[in-house]
Amino acid sequence: MNALETTGLGMRHRRTWALRDCSVAVPAGRVAALVGPNGAGKTTLLRLAVGLLTPTTGQVRIFGRPARESGERTAFVAQNKPLYTGFRVSEMLRFGRGLNPRWDDAAARRRLTELGIPLDRRIGRLSGGQRTQVALTVALAKRPDLLMLDEPLADLDPLARDDVARGLMGAVAETGLTVLLSSHVVSELEGVCDWLVVVNGGRVQVSGDIDELMARHSLLTGPAETADALAARLPVVSRSGAGRQATLLVRDDAPPPDPRWSARPVTLEEMVLAYLRTPDAAALPRPALSPAH
């Protein structure tokens, strides 16, 4: 069962396409990273998935149901962590309680107490990290099956970032909910996410299990004069190098056929960057996604 599935999803703002022909799936129970440069369509995809935007083409399915009928099963934390700044923290909880039948007030209070966030503090007076934690608490107390977060770790200091990531992972461990979070900082996702979706220029470039993707790619280093011959035999994602040495990032896990070449594993960041630099390359699941039914 896919928690999120889009088919042929497109969104046009006036004349430009913010997202085009996007077919992507996130299996239930995953913590998926939505990665891409700024303006690649990450926010648009999330806002379509949560029903805030109406797609120009295609459709979004949340556990098989249309996005706009899934308000009870999804939760969303937008990029600026919107909360009512004049409210007290306890009033934000009351807001959530009033608008969500599955609301878990005890868990929300426990979580905030553990984080040391006073319930009578006004939202406007919280620090950035605390504000993110309150937004996350409100989202989690809905007891969603799919939680979507737009750049949840951006503009947080390293300590707050670690706290938020641990809070999020703790919730996954406790409830097994599916998470889709967007980020343009790849390094902060390692260890956190197990599913990767790379969006670039409004299109999906990579989609799949992170461990599998990393095992299927390697970084080959060897003499530059033989690079062309090697590149002809292997699916090269990106190519770099200076002088006599060339480096190829290939979608292949066999050892290099040429003994003068050495292979080493890629990091998540290297792999993502390689794809982003080569917008034509793609690593999408084989076989093609099953259409929604």
Partner 1 sequence: MIEFRLDRGSGVATYLQLVQQVRHALRLGVLQPGDRLPTAKEVVARLAINPNTVLKAYRELEREGLVAGRPGLGTFVQRSLGQTSMDDRARLRAELVRWVRDGRQAGLTLEDLEALIASVLTDSFRQEIA
Partner 2 sequence: MFWLTWRQHRVQILVTGGLLLALGVLMLVSALRATAYLAEYAPPGCPGPAVSCSAVNQVVYTDHYRPVFLVFGLLPIFGAALIGVFWGAPLLAAEFERGTNALAWTQAVPIRRWLTVKLGMLGALVAGAALALSAMVGAWRNIFSGVTGDVTMEPGNFTITGIVPAAWWLFAFAVGAAAGTVTRRTLAAMAVTVAVICLALPVVFSSRPSYAEPVRVVTADRSSVARGGGALVRESWVDPSGRELTAPPPPPCPLPAGVDTRSDRAQLLGEECLVGSGYRYAVYYHPVDRFWRFQLTETAILLTGALAFGALAVVRTLRHRG
Burial (CB < 10 A; 0-12, 13-18, 19+), residue 271, is: buried
Burial (CB < 10 A; 0-12, 13-18, 19+), residue 14, is: exposed
Of these partners, partner 2, partner 1, none, which one is at the site of residue 54 (CB under 5 to 8 Å by kind)?
partner 2
Contact residue for partner 1 among 28, 52, 154, 169 (CB under 8 A): 169
Q: How far is the CB of 85 from partner 2 (least distance, A)?
A: 7
Strand partners, 204: 199
Q: How far is the CB of 209 from partner 1 (least distance, A)?
A: 10
Contact residue for partner 2 among 52, 169, 263, 284 (CB under 8 A): 52
Residue 193 backbone dihedrals phi, psi, to 5 degrees: -105, 150
In angstroms, the CA 97 to CA 77 distance is: 17
157 lies in the binding site for partner 1 (CB under 8 A): no
Neighbours of 192 (CB within 10 A): 18
Contact residue for partner 2 among 20, 30, 42, 47 (CB under 8 A): 47
SS3 210: helix
Of these partners, partner 1, partner 2, none, which one is at the site of residue 215 (CB under 5 to 8 Å by kind)?
partner 1
List, in sequence order, the alpha helices (H) in the chain: 42-49, 89-99, 105-115, 128-141, 158-175, 210-216, 227-233, 268-277
Mask for 135-164, x = binds partner 2 (CB under 8 A): ---x---x----------------------
Contact residue for partner 1 among 4, 25, 30, 143 (CB under 8 A): 30
| Options 45-53, 170-178, 186-194, 247-255: segment touching partner 2 (CB under 8 A) | 45-53
Q: How far is the CB of 90 from partner 2 (least distance, A)?
A: 11
Q: In the numeric block, which tokens belong to residue 187?
A: 């390094």
Neighbours of 288 (CB within 10 A): 8
| Options 8-16, 128-136, 141-149, 264-272: segment touching partner 1 (CB under 8 A) | 264-272
Contact residue for partner 1 among 18, 19, 25, 31 (CB under 8 A): 31
| Options 56-64, 84-92, 125-133, 252-260: segment touching partner 2 (CB under 8 A) | 84-92
| Nearer to partner 2 among residue 82 and residue 170 (C-beta) | 82
Residues within window 190-219 making contact with partner 2, judged by CB under 8 A: none
Q: Are 238 and 262 in contact (CB under 8 A)?
A: no
Q: How far is the CB of 190 from partner 1 (least distance, A)?
A: 4
Residue with tokens 């909360």: 83
Residues contacting partner 1: total by CB under 8 A: 34
In angstroms, the CA 223 to CA 31 distance is: 39
Neighbours of 248 (CB within 10 A): 25
Chain residues that interact with partner 2, rule: CB under 8 A: 47, 50-54, 71-72, 74-76, 78, 80, 82-85, 87, 91, 94-96, 98-102, 138, 142
